[in-house]
Amino acid sequence: MKKTIFVISLLILLSLLTPSLSSSTPACNKNDEKALFQIKKSLGNPYHLTSWKKNEDCCKWYSLKCNKATGRVIELTIFSGDISGQIPPEVGNLPYLQYLEFRKLTNLTGQIPSSISKLTHLTMLSLSWTDLTGPVPSFLSQLKNLNYLDLSFNKLTGSIPPELATLPKLVEMDLSRNKLTGVIPESFGKLSETFVALHLSHNQLTGHVPKSLNFSTIDLAKNQLTGDLSLLFGKNKSQTIQIADFSRNNFQFNLSDVKLPASLTSLGLNHNSIFGGLPAELTGLSLQYLNVSYNRLCGAIPQGGNLQDFDNTSYFHNRCLCGSPLALNIYMCGSGGVY
């Protein structure tokens, strides 16, 4: 008896709840729907977007996500489709977007449209593995909520806008694998305290590295950077750097007296013109990766720590570096052979 009453009251409760539940989930906002149809048309009605149909709640379409309470589109992710054309400027008419991603679309060309600057709710902007050209726009610095900016694997040219350093919530920036020129802006020494990782590898950047970079991951490999990295690592400098890749540049300085921070776990210096010797403090670090090959280093490899755990290719092709793990006997140090 009790059970029946329970079941009946449950049914009543459900019948009361159900309609109110469905009516509290609004259908896709009409302005957003209009912008999405413009985007679809602008991309030439690609097969990838066939689920974008009239008379169907646009919040149920593929490649996007709505806020369930408001019905506003908050995520647009167009990934790996057979899509040609340019980024439709109408993406700027989705004012509540938090995530915008165009990725692995090798026929997506043209510049980054300025309408993106209207998307002030964006926390993630990823335009990557596409064929975009033109500059890294300085208007991106208007996106004050941005945590993650990824413009890697494109054909962007020009220099890096110093204004990007003013983004107050930025955590990670990836501009690697483009054709960027000019210097790394001095302002990057003042990136916010939330900032963690900078990826600028595989570009054509020149000049010196700003003295005060202070975050955990710095990837500058394969550029044309010059000067003295000891300024970056000296006393009174960042104790935050964990992963640093400076390989394949034109850095030229004496490594002997450089004070490497205890935080360092991975250091790539290979293919530069670094001279002097390896500092004994290297044995005190918890290094998981080290590569100093193809430089002009000399003298004994300090014995201890992890230094003998690395493959001898971490050390080869220097002017006269010697000792384990290199085959050249430590007692023959200074004989000056190139190996």
Ligand X SMILES: *[C@@H]1O[C@H](CO)[C@@H](O)[C@H](O)[C@H]1NC(C)=O
Residues in the interface with ligand X (CB under 6 A) total 29
Choices 70-78, 88-96, 223-231, 309-317; region in contact with ligand X by CB under 6 A: 309-317
Nearest-CB residue to ligand X?
327
Strands 217-219 and 226-227: unpaired
Task: State which residue, 33 or 245, has the beta carbon closest to ligand X.
Answer: 245
Q: Which of 169, 275, 279, 308 binds ligand X (CB under 6 A)?
A: 275
Instruction: Say if residues 119 and 92 touch (Cβ distance below 8 Å).
Output: yes
Map residue 84 onto helix, strand or coil: strand
Work out the widest C-alpha separation in the chain, in whole angstroms.
99
For residue 176, state whether it binds ligand X (rule: CB under 6 A). Answer: no
Task: State which residue, 80 or 111, has the beta carbon closest to ligand X.
Answer: 80
User: What values do phi and psi take at 125, rounded to 5?
Assistant: -125, 115
For residue 22, state whether it binds ligand X (rule: CB under 6 A). Answer: no
For residue 276, state whether it binds ligand X (rule: CB under 6 A). Answer: yes
In the DSSP assignment, the letter for residue 297 is E
Residue 152 beta carbon to ligand X: minimum distance, rounded to whole angstroms = 18
For residues 181-210, which are near ligand X according to CB under 6 A? 193
Residue 291 beta carbon to ligand X: minimum distance, rounded to whole angstroms = 4
Task: State which residue, 57 or 257, has the beta carbon closest to ligand X.
Answer: 257
Q: Which of 254, 265, 283, 324 binds ligand X (CB under 6 A)?
A: 254
Residue type, 110: G
d(CA 336, CA 326): 14
Residue type, 136: V
Q: Which of 84, 109, 142, 206 binds ligand X (CB under 6 A)?
A: 84
For the chain, the 3-state helix, strand and coil shares in percent, each to the nearest 5, are 25, 20, 55
Task: State which residue, 15 or 236, has the beta carbon closest to ligand X.
Answer: 236
Give the DSSP per-residue string, 288-326: SEEE--SSEEEEEPPPSTTTTTS-GGGT-SSSEEESTTS
For residue 17, state whether it binds ligand X (rule: CB under 6 A). Answer: no
In the DSSP assignment, the letter for residue 260 is -
Judged by the rule CB under 6 A, the positions of this chain that interact with ligand X are 82, 84, 106-107, 193, 214, 236-238, 240, 254, 256-257, 270-271, 275-276, 291, 293-294, 310-314, 316, 326-327, 339
